[in-house]
Amino acid sequence: MQELNLSNLVELRYYEEAAALYARWPNNDRFMPRDFQYTFTLLIDTIEKFKVKKLIIDSGSNYNNLSESDYRYISELLFSGLMYAGIEKVARIFSPFAGIEENFKKHNQQVRNEMGAGFELQNFANLESALTWLKAESNS
């Protein structure tokens, strides 16, 4: 694992064994949508620079639920950027908090369908499961 210190607003690591970039934002707060634009640009730049095709998004430590409009805005920004950057697989570590997962379930597939997002997306309980899935996929 290699730490990429680009900002204190997003934690990025690269897992060579799975050829995957890991991204974790600090807990959601009312400034998340504004800060997300900046950190998301860093994420997309990193994906493009290193030609990353697999991404792990860790929502496991998020416990503040965003408004539906903020969640949808972030989802649209995220998915459009990932499509633009050529991501093929996304492993998402889910939040243990029901409100966040309800928003994810409500908006994820709808936004992806509207945008025509072609990347695979799977949810996992922990990092180890996500890495196992990404490594198995790379061996097929």
pLDDT in tens, 69-120: 877 888 888 889 999 999 999 999 988 877 777 777 777 788 888 888 889 9
Whether the pTM exceeds 0.75: the reply is: yes
Span 41-57, average pLDDT: 92
Class of the CATH domain delimited by 2-138: alpha beta
Q: Where are the beta strands (DSSP E) in the chain?
A: 2-4, 11-15, 20-24, 54-58, 89-93, 120-124
Give the strands of the sheet with 11-15, arranged side by side: 2-4, 11-15, 20-24, 54-58, 89-93, 120-124
Q: Residue 58 and residue 12: Cα distance in Å, rounded?
A: 10
Residue 20 pLDDT:
96
The rounded distance, in Å, linking the Cα atoms of 116 and 12 is 26
| Strand-pair partners of 20 | 15, 54
Question: What's the confidence (pLDDT) of residue 88?
Answer: 96
